[in-house]
Structure 1
Amino acid sequence: MSDNESGGERAVHRRFLGVTATVVALGMTVGLAGCGSSDGGDVTLKLVAADYDPEGGDSTKQYWDGVVTAFEAKNKGIKVDVSVYDWKDVDRKVAEMVEAGDAPDIAQIGAYADYAAEDKLYPVDELLSIPVQANLLAPLAEAGEVSRVSYGIPFVASTRLLFYNQTLFDQAGVEPPKTWDEIESAAKALKQRGVKYPFALPLGNEEAQAETMMWMLSNGGGYTDSVGSYTIDSVQNIEAFSWLKDTLVGEKLTGPVAPGKLDRKPAFAAFANGEVGMLNGHPSLLQQAARNGVKVGMVPLPGPNGKARSSMGVADWMMGFKQHGHGRQIGEFLDFAYSDENVLEFADEYDLLPVTVSASETMGADPAHKELWPFLEALPGSTLYPVGKTSWAKVSENIKKQIGSVVGPNGDPTGTLGAIGREAAAQENAE
């Protein structure tokens, strides 16, 4: 939203958010607790969460420790034991725990549908109270459904934009790119001035599935078609990666680390250190760059000839496992965790987007969060991962492992995307 947003535009924004503040206020009077099968006695919930600290610190653990301390003070019979893992490891850690027969009670990870298909998760309406459910942003809540039943609870959201270093752009005499050709020409100008990473392209396995999707969408492609079938080896996707291989990588415009070896975290750190001209970023990078005095510009990642049809949106997911029968206690903890105070604290800590109506309206009206308004505005029209597909977790892992080789010296966009696509189709057929 902008400073001069009209009342009508604000009304449209509120309608997107799913329910009006009045409905939420009325809902809050209901006060229903989450339900489950375990009652009485002391319970210790195991929570596994992902690490969001862009610099490898312990701020995520500190956040959860604060939430848990406040929760336990109000809920004497429930303890919460939190483990935080790097994004490279957290999905695998949870999978290993589930396979070993010792699932966590609560997991905050990247995908939920495969566990839902195996009947390992509580439906959301057995966990969250009615007011908390009603306060979730409707498009994100709907993305948490499998066969029209909600199992994934959106935890935090973001949209992605093309970030550029304004100072380096000014020094090179280039403007924010509006086409792929302008990305190429800007990167060449930056390289000529000795910029270490003219365009940082992190296709290492930390979050390669995100960078992949952004480039697919920029050329009108994506992971799936309009009916939800995988289209990983579509003509548009092959074209996008052929351009990356031949142009950005082939002309040595991506820096000293091969894209297949470059993870997101070091790419973001390099941007925050003033070593990167351009890269695809999410909101938390703003804070990281600001601490080092890097002046940031942002535009949507363009397509070959202009504005892309869609940008990428991301929601990370919270879920409750049924194995230990702690549904009531899980619900009580999640109701507490999704209070405005907690949701806004986490979003504010990492410059991410809240997933609730009331917290989003608060952020959208607060000039202190003005830098995040472009991301909030991009969220309604963004495309999310196909998280409702039970095969997505395995397909995503396969993309992380293979996609970096596509843009390497011996890369084969047609062959590799074809292989990934066939494996995805086989996973889908096995659902």
Structure 2
Amino acid sequence: MQRHFLGMRAAAAALATAVTLTGCGASGDSPDKVTLTLVAADYDVNGGQSSKTYWASLIKKFEVENSHIDVQVQIEPWTDVDRKVAELVKEGEAPDMAQIGAYADYAAADKLYTADQLLSVPVQANFLGPLVQAGEQRRVQYGLPFAASTRLLFYNKELFEQAGVAKAPETWEELREAAELLKSETDVDYPFALPLGPEEAQIETMMWLLGGEGNGYVDPGGSYSIDTDENTATLDWVKSNLVAPGLTGPGTPGELNRKAAYAAFTRGEVGMLNGHPSLMRQAEKAGIELGKVPVPGRDGKPKAPLGVADWIMGFKENGNKDEIGAFLNFLFTDENVLAFASQNDLLPVTVSASEAMELNPRHKNLREFLQELPSAQLPPVDKTSWALVSDDIKRNIGKAVAPGGSPAKVLDKIAQNAALEEEKERE
């Protein structure tokens, strides 16, 4: 499931500048007032009002240009938003649009409009290639990428200097050697923080699997391939070379969540970890001098960098296709895409906005992340079974590297469960 950039950069960017709301999906002729409902996730990690402010400003501008459409937005925390939307859909009260973490179940149940039913051709062509493919089921796009991110290896420059680590690691062996120096020379709590707790273990694990020259969780044909020899060898290496020697810190990786690992990094208690762009701002506020490089692989660069995306979608239930399309065409203009990405230290989902961000000196700290995205591989979010398989990984993968744990047995059990879910998916 390697995700490849589609190579539409110049054409898509040029087309995108010509997009207007009178294109496909817009409806400026109806005299009747239509109210659209949107359920969206809260991205403000500090509990502030930034998500509400973003949507309020965008909707106000949209309604000025589309006086016959009102948009009502409901902001929900990430811990609740997917469940809230699922409940509304189950009760027959689906919102017109939802901005959440997954789309596949709704697409498989024929509850969503396709991308080409909602978006103008220039807007649809402007999405980055890996995100288009991740949003497709049976070669039809339903999931519209809303925000994206990649991961880099973050390290504490001051601790590296104290430990005598001359350069950031580029291979697993160099990472192990750096972690050993951090432990022996600085006695830092977490030479390498490995968050395999249930918060986001499926993402941390996938980075390692790609670094071990595996395909991640699926083979090139899209079927689960979790317990491969490459994946087993990867977790064997992590267990033997990082966890067993005590280089991943106190406790076991299966008990460490990403949020706790990031907090420890900002306290100066972590030498290295695989980091999300949002950690940069937190580290800077805490006075941590942060370095960042591509995530190392076994012998150098991984098979592919990891990409992650969140999604927005339009539901058929209320029949407001034209009005939903008008709003989404407006949402995906460069101005609005860049405003959201910049506000949250995330990556734009379109070609033209990505190019604009990369050229803007204000966003030079995101350039390394941007460069990873066009060739990134995403988790198999197009599979309706992925939610259950992902949860299985979150709850159990930490056991593979725990004392007495067996990577082969844990991967085999997860693979068996995934095969059962995949069979249901085919029925």
**Is the structural similarity TM-score above 0.5?**
yes
Is 2:400 the counterpart of 1:406? yes
- 1:244, 1:407 within 8 Å by CA — same for their partners in 2? yes
Rounded Cα–Cα distance in structure 2 between residues aligned with 1:244 and 1:170: 25
In 2, Cα distance between equivalents of 1:312 and 1:172: 29
Partner AA of 2:163 in structure 1:
A
Instruction: Point out where structure 1 has 5 or more consecutive residues left out of the alignment.
Output: 1-12
- Could you say what secondary structure the match of 2:412 adopts? helix
3-state SS of paired residue (2:273): strand
Q: Is 1:181 aligned to residue 173 of structure 2? A: yes
Equivalent positions of 1:201-212 (< 5 A) are 201-212=194-205
For 1:119, what is the secondary structure of its paired residue? coil
Q: Does 1:124 align with 2:118?
A: no
User: What's the counterpart of residue 82 of structure 1?
Assistant: 73
Question: 5+ unaligned residues in a row in structure 2: which ranges?
Answer: none
* Aligned partner of residue 269 in structure 1, secondary structure: helix
CA positional deviation for 1:398: 2.2
Structure 1: how far apart are the matches of 2:122 and 2:350?
11
Q: How does 1:224-235 map to 2 (within 5 A)?
A: 224-235=218-229
Structure 1 stretch 90-99 or stretch 176-185: which is displaced more? Answer: 90-99
Shift, 1:127, TM fit: 1.5
Partner Cα distance (2:365, 2:350) in 1 = 19
Contact 2:39 2:95 in 1 (8 A): yes
Cα drift, residue 394 of structure 1: 2.4
The one of 285, 300, 305 equivalent to 1:306 is 300
Alignment-mate amino acid for residue 259 of structure 1 = P
Q: CA RMSD in A?
A: 2.5
Aligned residues: 417
Deviations 1:83-119 (A, max 9, x none): 3344344333333332333323212222212211110
Q: Secondary structure at the match of 2:11?
A: coil
Per the alignment, residue 209 of structure 2 pairs with 216
CA contact (8 A) 1:30 1:131 kept: no
Deviation readout 1:350-389 (Å, 9 max, x if unpaired): 2221112221121121122222222222222221112222
2:409 matches 1:415: yes
1:159 CA displacement? 1.7
Query: Using a 3 Å threshold, how does the CA distance of structure 1 residues 88 and 258 change in structure 2: closer, same or farther?
Result: farther
Q: How does 1:376-391 map to 2 (within 5 A)?
A: 376-391=370-385
Deviations for 1:143-189, whole angstroms, at most 9, x for unmatched residues? 31111211011112222111111111111111311222222222222
1:304-358 residue CA offsets vs partner (Å, 9 max, x unmatched): 2333222111222111111222222222221222121111111111222111222
Select the residue among 342, 346, 352 that pairs with 1:352: 346
* TM-score, structure 2 as length reference: 0.89
State how 1:265-280 maps to structure 2 within 5 Å.
Answer: 265-280=259-274
Letter in 2 for 1:181: E
Structure 2 counterpart of 1:24: 16
User: Does the residue aligned with 1:19 lie in a helix, a strand or coil?
Assistant: helix
CA contact (8 A) 2:150 2:305 kept: yes
1:259 is aligned to 253
| CA–CA separation in structure 1 for the residues paired with 2:224 and 2:243 | 26
1:255 shift after superposition: 2.5
Alignment-derived partner of residue 200 in structure 1: 193
Q: Distance in 2 between matches of 1:62 and 1:270?
A: 30
Tell me if structure 2 keeps the 8 A contact 1:159–1:313.
Answer: yes
Are the equivalent residues in 2 in contact too, given 1:158–1:313 (CA < 8 A)? yes
Structure-2 change in CA distance of 1:35 and 1:426 (3 Å) = farther
Cα separation, partners in 2 of 1:168 and 1:20, compared to 1, 3 Å = same
- Bigger shift: residues 380-389 or 227-236: 380-389
Q: 1:14, 1:139 → 2: CA distance?
A: 8
